[in-house]
Amino acid sequence: MGFLNVALWLFAGTAAPSAPADVLLLFERLPATVEGFRRDPAAERFGRDTLFEHIDGHAELFLSFGFRELLVLRYERADEAAIDVEIYDMGRSQDAFGVFAHGMERVEREAGQGSQYLSGMLTFWKDRFFVAVTAYPESEPRKRAAYALARAAARLIPREGPRPSLLARLPKPGLAPESVRYFRHPVWLNSPYRVSDGNPLGIGPDTEAVLGRYGSGEGRHVLVLVEYPDEKRAKQAEASAQEGILDGQPGPVRRPDGRFAGLRRAGRRIALIVDAPDETSVREALARAAPGGSR
């Protein structure tokens, strides 16, 4: 793809979201100097086969969301530690959101479509890109520079991308916004609460799943929603999950930790409640999450 076409993609808001783009261009247009930090002209680039060289031990997260490419740029200042700027091309805005939400502890919007600043690291997502600005150890100059760089990078992305549509099906009352997760790989099903070994819900690249935590203390519960390509797959997953998560029982069950779980299928979607205090809470939560479902 030529430079002109890439530039048109970057600055024409009507261009197709799936159009290929060279992420290097985002960095070429970042400021050369921020808060006295100067950009190193040398940038590092990583693909699916080399990502482990940069983030060994954490690459699986990005790969599970369809990661395409990473570019790393460094800003340096004589009297301060360097600042690293990483931009990940995830291919789809839904997957960029998924990576961002995986580590979300608070909901902010200082840059892009959602951002978070924690102890010297500022992350945000916008369209198909996830961006991390690392300014650790934290200092006021590095913190100011991190925000300036994040906002500059966000401005270079010409449009916002859609969030996962399944998020809209999470009931709003009682939902902790910072707990919301989106994923297409079964390993992340157990990230907030141990649900099951294996993959009883049949989660894979052609399914979409979201989860959220509701309530607090003893009254809490976790809701998982999974959407399948068709109702046949959903029925298969329903039978598998009933056996693998509910011990083959039809209704809410008490799990080994003393908390309760239950599920309900509605068409090609399944709602699963785990970590609930009692059977009544499971039934009420399922009625809100999957009205008119099969259980």
Domain CATH code at residue 109: 3.40.1000
∠ CA 219-224-228 to the nearest 5 degrees? 160
Q: Of 121, 156, 191, at which residue does a domain stop?
A: 156
Residues 172, 151 within the same domain: no
Kindly state whether residues 121 and 182 are assigned to the same domain. Answer: no
| 49 against 58, higher pLDDT | 49
- Nearest Cα to Cα of residue 169 among 281, 65, 271, 274: 271
Q: How confident is the model at residue 193 (pLDDT cuts 50, 70, 90)?
A: confident
Cα–Cα distance measured from residue 186 to residue 202, given in angstroms and rounded to the nearest whole number: 8
**Mean per-residue pLDDT over the chain, rounded:** 88
Give the end of a domain, one of 156, 188, 223.
Answer: 156
Q: How many domains does the chain have?
A: 2
Same domain, 137 and 193: no
Predicted local confidence at residue 66, as pLDDT: 93
| Integer Rg of the chain from CA | 21
> Domain range spanning residue 169?
165-289
142/171 same-domain check = no
Among 156, 187, 222, give the residue marking a domain's end. 156
Claim to verify: residue 75 and residue 111 sit in the same structural domain: yes
Closest CA to 188 of 65, 69, 276: 65
Statement to judge: residues 265 and 234 lie in one domain: yes
Per-residue pLDDT at 54 exceeds 60: yes
Tell whether 294 is covered by a domain.
no
Kindly state the percentage of the chain with pLDDT values over 90.
Answer: 77
Are 276 and 221 in contact, with CB atoms under 8 Å apart?
yes
Q: Helix/strand/coil (H, E, C) string of the chain?
A: CCHHHHHHHHHCCCCCCCCCCCCHHHHHCCCCEECCEEECCCCEEEECCCHHHHCCCCHHHHHHCCCCEEEEEEEEECCEEEEEEEEEECCCHHHHHHHHHHCCCCCECCCCCEEEEECCEEEEEECCEEEEEECCCCCHHHHHHHHHHHHHHHHHCCCCCCCCHHHHHCCCCCECHHHCEEECCHHHHHCCCCCCCCCCCCCCCCCEEEEEEECCHHHCEEEEEEECCCHHHHHHHHHHHHHHCCCCCCCCEECCCCCEEEEEEECCEEEEEEEECCHHHHHHHHHHHCCCCCC
pLDDT of residue 294: 63
| 211: Cβ contacts below 8 Å, ≥ 6 apart | 179, 180, 181, 189, 192, 222, 223, 224, 225
Give the per-residue pLDDT at 6. 31
> Residues 36, 149: one domain?
yes
pLDDT of residue 251: 83
Poorest-pLDDT segment among 26-35, 119-128, 202-211, 260-269? 26-35
The pair of structure tokens assigned to 77 is 């200042």
